[in-house]
Structure 1
Amino acid sequence: MLSRLLTRDDVLFLNYGYEEDPPMALPLAASDEPDRFPIQLYHRTATQTDLAGKQVLEVSCGHGGGASYLMRTLYPASYTGLDLNTVGIEFCRKRHKLPGLNFVQGNAESLPFPDRSFDAVINVEAAINYQNVPRFFAEVERVLRPGGDFLYADIRYADQIAAWEADLAGIPLRLISGKAINADVMRGLEKNRFFDQIIRRLPNIAFLRGIAHDYAGGPGSLIYRRLEYGEASYRLFRFAKD
């Protein structure tokens, strides 16, 4: 539904955003500047390893903004964006045309690629929506080459954290690093204009706008308050396949 609502050339990112203290001051092209804070989440996630010359898969690529940015700035040999949503994939194919960048419709829990196809797999703020997260993790391990990296950023609410941690403990990869980034995501939410983009496209119906406000995560929203009071945990990970 969200992709159908927001499939416009100016809506390229669907994540909450990210900002550090002091600010990252990431150099960006003028065309990327409006999406600074969602881009910074992608940048921080992807630069946990060197992607130059690598074959990269992003699972749940959304509207492809992160795929385009990383292809243009981190110089992988190839970058494949996969998403379940056919509308979103059609949008990506029309909007993001770069050598080495391609988009595929498919399921995160049954990746349509041979074993050992990629040097890195990226997943940003998406696996919370999957039906079977351990199955997704197993698929990541399957398609990674030995020495490859799984670069992962995601959120869980308080009542989901124990199950998430159990899933993470069972992932068939070696943990290199992991940390909570609640404060960084909250700063991103404060500066990100995602909520305004949603509101401009909604009918003037109070309950719809209320739902959108909580989804988009602006200050005062449910997700912002949960992050602020420790009722949600947003974390960043790097795993490796030996």
Structure 2
Amino acid sequence: MARNFHRVWCTGVDVAEHAVHLSRKEYDLPNLSFVHGTAESLMVLDNSIDVVLAVESSHALGNVKKFLSEVLRVLKPGGHLLLTDLRDSLEEMESFREELMASGLLMINHEDITVNVLSAIESDDAAKRKTIESLVPKSYQKVFFEVAAVVGSRVHQSLRDGSGVYHRYVLQKPEARL
């Protein structure tokens, strides 16, 4: 986003300090910053953010309700949470959707994109494998294949057999009332 939208300021948050340092080194753009922190405790002023983007991260949070509370706090009135993530079952996704609905954010759009994600995994498979095989020592490749969700990985298999689901959400903080 920072590379394509020069008038936009982007801040990435990661719990892993090493990932923050690596990102700063790899992506040195004037409108992009990276900070060490957690999604459940954002070091951001109230009502100061236009868009929060959360991609494949909410399933790994310790406290989803706290994350959603933080999103509600930092978003400007009318601001958006754009979120995509996977769950191990339709029941887990429904429970997550209920948490989203109870968060104080308005559900603008929700879509099951499992088929789209499966298609992307399968079409990107050869390129992902080639990159991993060329950059990662053989002893670590199996782990990287799982993390990259290549064909045959646990994520791919769960989406393929229907036990896993992948959804996209657009939520909005209500406009301030006068």
Structure 1 contact 181–234 (Cα < 8 Å) conserved: yes
The aligned residue for residue 102 of structure 2 is 170
How much does 1:75 deviate? 3.8
Q: Determine if the alignment matches structure 1 residue 151 to structure 2 residue 82.
A: yes
**Residue ranges of structure 1 left out of the alignment (5+ in a row):** 1-69
How much does 1:97 deviate? 1.4
How much does 1:240 deviate? 0.6
The aligned residue for residue 194 of structure 1 is 128
Structure 1 contact 195–217 (Cα < 8 Å) conserved: no
Q: Determine if the alignment matches structure 1 residue 128 to structure 2 residue 59.
A: yes
- Quickly say closer, same or farther: Cα 1:220–1:123, change in 2 above 3 A: same
**Residue ranges of structure 2 left out of the alignment (5+ in a row):** none
Q: Determine if the alignment matches structure 1 residue 78 to structure 2 residue 12.
A: no
Structure 1 contact 85–105 (Cα < 8 Å) conserved: yes
The aligned residue for residue 218 of structure 1 is 150
Q: What amino acid maps onto 1:74 in structure 2?
A: F
Structure 1 contact 195–212 (Cα < 8 Å) conserved: no
The aligned residue for residue 45 of structure 1 is none
Aligned residue pairs total 170
- Quickly say closer, same or farther: Cα 1:91–1:135, change in 2 above 3 A: same
Structure 2 contact 6–31 (Cα < 8 Å) conserved: no
The aligned residue for residue 16 of structure 1 is none
Moved more, 143-152 or 92-101: 92-101
Q: Determine if the alignment matches structure 1 residue 182 to structure 2 residue 117.
A: no
How much does 1:154 deviate? 0.6
Note the alpha carbon deviations across 1:28-65, whole angstroms, 9 max, x for none: xxxxxxxxxxxxxxxxxxxxxxxxxxxxxxxxxxxxxx
The separation in 1 between residues aligned to 2:93 and 2:168, in whole angstroms, is 14
Structure 2 contact 101–107 (Cα < 8 Å) conserved: no
Q: What amino acid maps onto 2:13 in structure 1?
A: L
The separation in 2 between residues aligned to 1:160 and 1:210, in whole angstroms, is 27
Moved more, 116-125 or 95-104: 95-104
- Quickly say closer, same or farther: Cα 1:93–1:167, change in 2 above 3 A: same
The share of aligned pairs that are identical, in percent, is 29
The separation in 2 between residues aligned to 1:215 and 1:97, in whole angstroms, is 25
1:109 alignment partner, SS class: coil
- Quickly say closer, same or farther: Cα 1:212–1:93, change in 2 above 3 A: closer
Q: Determine if the alignment matches structure 1 residue 87 to structure 2 residue 18.
A: yes
Moved over 6 A (4+): none
Q: What amino acid maps onto 1:107 in structure 2?
A: T
The separation in 1 between residues aligned to 2:51 and 2:76, in whole angstroms, is 8
Moved more, 136-145 or 165-174: 165-174
